A and B are shown apart, each in its own frame.
Chain A
C-alpha cells in the first residue's frame, strides 16, 4: 500500500496511565482517514505523537516511508482541538502571520487568505480581534490557517465540534475538496455521520489500543455480515419455512406500498446467498433483495462494547 504516513507500534505512558498501547496505523495517500474512539481513548495523544508534540516511549512514525524528522512537520497542517489563536490579535493579521510562518510570502498569503475568507463568509471579520469572534467563526479562521499553505498532510483534531449542521456541512465539503486537490487528511471525531459521509479509511481506538482498522466499506460489510432486506409477496409462515435452516428472520416485517412486504434476514455464515434466493424463489414471489450495511454508529458501539 502506498502509505503517506505509517505509525508503527507506538506506545506512550503518562505517570500511572497508558495513553497508547502498541498502536499501528497506515494512512493511504489521498485518503480521508478517520480516527474514532470514545473520549480518553488516546486519539489526541496519537495525533500529538504524529505531530511530534509528544515523544512516544517506543515505536516510530514514518512519513513517505522515511522516519519523520523535525523538518517534516512543516509539511503537515495541524489543527488542535483546543483552538490556538492569539485572542488580542486581529483576525487577518493573525492568519497572515501563520501563513507566513508556513513559508508563504506576504502577497501570496494575503491573496490566498482573502479567497478563503470570502469563501467561508469571514470577509467582514478581517480587521476584528479574534476575541470578538464566535466559537464557530474562530474555528473557521483556525481551519483556514491550517490549510492555507496547502500541505500534503492535514491533521484535524475534532474539526466538527462547535459547528452547527450547516457550517459542519460547509467544512465537510472543504475537506473533501482538499482531498480532491491531492491532500491526505486525518481527523479524529466522535461524529459518526461525518465518518460515513467522508472517510475512506478509519481506525477505531479504544482503551489506548487500535481495535479496528480498515476501509469504511470493508468494515461495514464485515460487520454487516450477511444481512439482507427482501421484498416479497408471501405470508410470514410461508416465508419463514422457505428459509428455515439456512437463514433467520430479524425483527418484524413491514408492509410496503404495492402489497410487498419487507423482511430482514440474516444468512448463516456457511450458507450461500444463492441457495437462499433459490429457496425463496420456489415458494414466494420476490421483488428485490438488498444487502444491509450497519451504520458506523452501530459498529462503533459494538466495537467498543466488544460485541462485534
Chain B
C-alpha cells in the first residue's frame, strides 16, 4: 500500500506540476467561453461584400418590395426574357445572381435564382422568407379588411412556457423550475466534458505505460513492487490529476454562480424580457444545483475514467510503441463514440428506452447518464448506474491486471488476440 502510494504521488506530481497542466486548466474555461461567444462575434464582424441581385419580375408584385440589406442589394429590372438577362448579366458583369420571377409567383418553378457564383443557405432563405411574406401580405390585402395592420399587431403572440417538476404542492415557490433548453445546454456541456476527459486522460494512461515499458523503467520498478501496484498506482495518480483539474473548474464555475451571476442578474438580465436568458441565468445562479451536478459528474468521471483507464493500461502493456497501441485505442474508442451518438438522442427524449439502457451499460453509462441528469432523472436510476459502473470497473481492472503483468515483460512483436487470451488464462 505504501509503495502504491509512492507511485501515485510520483505520477501525480509529475503531471500536476507541469506547466502545460496549469495552463490548460486555467485556459480551458476561458476557451470554452470563447467558443460560446465566438459565433456571435464572428457574425458581428463578418462583413462580406454586398451581393447584387438583378430582379426580373414578370408578375409585377414583388420587385419593389424586396428589402435590400448590407449583404444583399436587389436591383429591379425592366422585363426582359430569361435568356436575355442571362446573357447580359453573366459572370463578367459583376452581378451575383438573377432572381427571375414568372407571371404566376406561386406556380411551380416560377421563382428561379440563377447565380454566377455558388449561392448560400442564408441567402436563399432570406429570399424565400421575403417572398413568402410579400405574397402573404398581398393575399391579405386582397381580402379588403379594414385596420389590417392593427389587427395583425393584436394577433401577434409570444407565449412563455414555465416548466416545473410536480412536488405535490402546486406552489411555484416550492416546485423546482426546469427548462428543457437549459437542460439541453447543461447536458451537452457535461457530456462533452466527460467525453473529453475520458479520452484525454485515458490515452495518457496508454502513452505513459508504453513509455515506461519501452524506456525500461518498468524493469527497474518491478524489482521493487508488483505489476498490480504499478498499474493501479499509475491509474490512480492520473485519476487524481483529472479530478484536480475538474475541482479547479468546478470551483471557478461555482464561484461564478455565487458571485458573478447574481451581480449580473440583478442589473442587466432582470431588466430584459428574454425568458430564456433569465431562466438560464437563474439555473447557473442556483449554486446548490450546480454543485450537485458537479458531484454527480465527479462520480461518473471517476468511474468512467477508471473503467477505460484499466483497458488503456492493458493495451499499453501489450505493445512497444504508441503507434502499435493505436489499434487497441481505436477499439476502446468505439463505445465512447457510441455514447456520444446516444447522447444526442437523449436530448429528444431523456426517458426513452435507448437512453435508459445505454445509461445502464457501463461502457456508455458515464456519458449518457450525465447527459440525462440535467433533465431530472429518478435517483434510483442514477445510483443503479453508478453501482454497475463501479462493479464493472473492478472486473475490468482485474482483467487488465492479468494482461498487464505479462504484457510489460514482452518485447518485440505485437501480440495477437489469441495470445492476449492466453495471457488471461495464465496463472
**Minimum CB–CB distance for A181 against chain B, Å:** 20
**Minimum CB–CB distance for A80 against chain B, Å:** 5
- Interchain CB contact (< 8 A) of B215 among A70, A74, A87: A87
Query: How long is the Cα–Cα vector from A142 to B219 in the complex, in angstroms?
Result: 12
In this assembly, does A84 line the interface, its C-beta being within 8 Å of a C-beta of chain B? yes
Q: Are B10 and A54 in contact (CB under 8 A)?
A: no
Q: Are A101 and B3 in contact (CB under 8 A)?
A: yes
Chain A CB count within 10 A is highest, among B7, B215, B412, for B215
- Interchain CB contact (< 8 A) of A53 among B14, B215, B219, B224: B219
Give every chain A residue within 8 A of B220 (Cβ-Cβ). Answer: 78-80, 84, 98, 142, 145-146
Query: How long is the Cα–Cα vector from A89 to B225 in the complex, in angstroms?
Result: 20
Instruction: Produce 1/0 per residue, A135-151, CB < 8 A to B.
Output: 00000001001100000
**Minimum CB–CB distance for B37 against chain A, Å:** 36
Instruction: Produce 1/0 per residue, B2-14, CB < 8 A to A.
Output: 0100110010001
Query: How long is the Cα–Cα vector from A78 to B217 in the complex, in angstroms?
Result: 11
Give every chain A residue within 8 A of B225 (Cβ-Cβ). Answer: 101
In this assembly, does A100 line the interface, its C-beta being within 8 Å of a C-beta of chain B? yes
Chain B CB count within 10 A is highest, among A53, A54, A70, for A53
**Minimum CB–CB distance for B407 against chain A, Å:** 13
In this assembly, does B226 line the interface, its C-beta being within 8 Å of a C-beta of chain A? yes
Give every chain A residue within 8 A of B354 (Cβ-Cβ). Answer: none
**Minimum CB–CB distance for A213 against chain B, Å:** 25
Query: How long is the Cα–Cα vector from A70 to B223 in the complex, in angstroms?
Result: 9
Query: How long is the Cα–Cα vector from A77 to B219 in the complex, in angstroms?
Result: 11
**Minimum CB–CB distance for B231 against chain A, Å:** 15
Chain B CB count within 10 A is highest, among A48, A52, A97, A102, for A97
In this assembly, does B259 line the interface, its C-beta being within 8 Å of a C-beta of chain A? no
Query: How long is the Cα–Cα vector from A151 to B337 in the complex, in angstroms?
Result: 50
In this assembly, does A88 line the interface, its C-beta being within 8 Å of a C-beta of chain B? yes
Chain A CB count within 10 A is highest, among B216, B219, B412, for B219
Query: How long is the Cα–Cα vector from A102 to B226 in the complex, in angstroms?
Result: 12
In this assembly, does B243 line the interface, its C-beta being within 8 Å of a C-beta of chain A? no
- Interchain CB contact (< 8 A) of B226 among A70, A80, A88, A103: A70
Give every chain B residue within 8 A of A73 (Cβ-Cβ). Answer: 222-223
Query: How long is the Cα–Cα vector from A53 to B218 in the complex, in angstroms?
Result: 10
Give every chain B residue within 8 A of A86 (Cβ-Cβ). Answer: 14, 215, 217
Query: How long is the Cα–Cα vector from A76 to B409 in the complex, in angstroms?
Result: 18
**Minimum CB–CB distance for A77 against chain B, Å:** 8
In this assembly, does A246 line the interface, its C-beta being within 8 Å of a C-beta of chain B? no
Instruction: Produce 1/0 per residue, B401-427, CB < 8 A to A.
Output: 000000001001000000000000000
Give every chain A residue within 8 A of B224 (Cβ-Cβ). Answer: 74, 98, 101-103
Query: How long is the Cα–Cα vector from A74 to B226 in the complex, in angstroms?
Result: 10
Q: Which of A178-235 contact B (CB under 8 A)?
A: none
Query: How long is the Cα–Cα vector from A91 to B360 in the complex, in angstroms?
Result: 47
Chain B residue with the shortest CB-CB distance to A145: B220
Give every chain B residue within 8 A of A89 (Cβ-Cβ). Answer: 10, 14
Q: Are B14 and A88 in contact (CB under 8 A)?
A: yes
Query: How long is the Cα–Cα vector from A148 to B242 in the complex, in angstroms?
Result: 34
Q: Are A84 and B223 in contact (CB under 8 A)?
A: no
- With A70-B226, A84-B215, A87-B215 as given contacts, are A101 and B221 in contact (CB-CB < 8 Å)? yes
**Minimum CB–CB distance for B234 against chain A, Å:** 12
Query: How long is the Cα–Cα vector from A83 to B214 in the complex, in angstroms?
Result: 10
Query: How long is the Cα–Cα vector from A52 to B222 in the complex, in angstroms?
Result: 9
**Minimum CB–CB distance for B94 against chain A, Å:** 60
Q: Are B10 and A53 in contact (CB under 8 A)?
A: no
Query: How long is the Cα–Cα vector from A192 to B409 in the complex, in angstroms?
Result: 30
**Minimum CB–CB distance for B213 against chain A, Å:** 10
In this assembly, does A82 line the interface, its C-beta being within 8 Å of a C-beta of chain B? yes
**Minimum CB–CB distance for B17 against chain A, Å:** 10
Query: How long is the Cα–Cα vector from A146 to B7 in the complex, in angstroms?
Result: 17
Q: Are B223 and A51 in contact (CB under 8 A)?
A: yes
**Minimum CB–CB distance for B5 against chain A, Å:** 10
Chain B residue with the shortest CB-CB distance to A155: B223
Q: Are B6 and A78 in contact (CB under 8 A)?
A: no
Give every chain B residue within 8 A of A74 (Cβ-Cβ). Answer: 223-224
In this assembly, does A85 line the interface, its C-beta being within 8 Å of a C-beta of chain B? yes
Q: Which of A56-83 contact B (CB under 8 A)?
A: 70, 73-74, 76-80, 82-83
Q: Which of A230-289 contact B (CB under 8 A)?
A: none
Q: Which of A6-62 contact B (CB under 8 A)?
A: 14, 48, 51-54
- Interchain CB contact (< 8 A) of B216 among A54, A70, A80: A80
Q: Are B409 and A84 in contact (CB under 8 A)?
A: no
Q: Are B223 and A54 in contact (CB under 8 A)?
A: no
Query: How long is the Cα–Cα vector from A54 to B405 in the complex, in angstroms?
Result: 11
Q: Are B222 and A53 in contact (CB under 8 A)?
A: yes
Query: How long is the Cα–Cα vector from A80 to B215 in the complex, in angstroms?
Result: 11
**Minimum CB–CB distance for B415 against chain A, Å:** 12
Q: Are B219 and A80 in contact (CB under 8 A)?
A: yes
Q: Are A82 and B226 in contact (CB under 8 A)?
A: no
**Minimum CB–CB distance for A234 against chain B, Å:** 61
Q: Which of B205-244 contact A (CB under 8 A)?
A: 215-226
Give every chain A residue within 8 A of B226 (Cβ-Cβ). Answer: 70
Q: Are A84 and B10 in contact (CB under 8 A)?
A: no
Give every chain B residue within 8 A of A53 (Cβ-Cβ). Answer: 219, 222, 409
Give every chain A residue within 8 A of B409 (Cβ-Cβ). Answer: 48, 53-54
- With A54-B409, A70-B226, A100-B6 as given contacts, are A78 and B14 in contact (CB-CB < 8 Å)? no
Give every chain B residue within 8 A of A145 (Cβ-Cβ). Answer: 220
Give every chain B residue within 8 A of A83 (Cβ-Cβ). Answer: 216
Q: Are A101 and B14 in contact (CB under 8 A)?
A: no
- With A54-B409, A82-B216, A84-B218 as given contacts, are A76 and B223 in contact (CB-CB < 8 Å)? yes
Given contacts A89-B10, A103-B224, 5 further A-B contacts (CB under 8 A): A53-B219, A84-B218, A84-B220, A85-B217, A98-B220
- Which A-B residue pairs are the 6 nearest by beta carbons? A84-B216, A84-B217, A101-B224, A84-B220, A82-B216, A80-B219
Please name 26 pairs of A and B residues whose Cβ atoms are closer than 8 Å in the assembled complex, sorted by A.
A14-B412, A48-B409, A51-B219, A51-B223, A52-B222, A53-B222, A53-B409, A73-B222, A78-B219, A78-B220, A78-B223, A80-B216, A82-B216, A84-B217, A84-B220, A84-B221, A86-B14, A89-B10, A98-B224, A101-B6, A101-B221, A101-B224, A101-B225, A102-B224, A103-B224, A142-B220
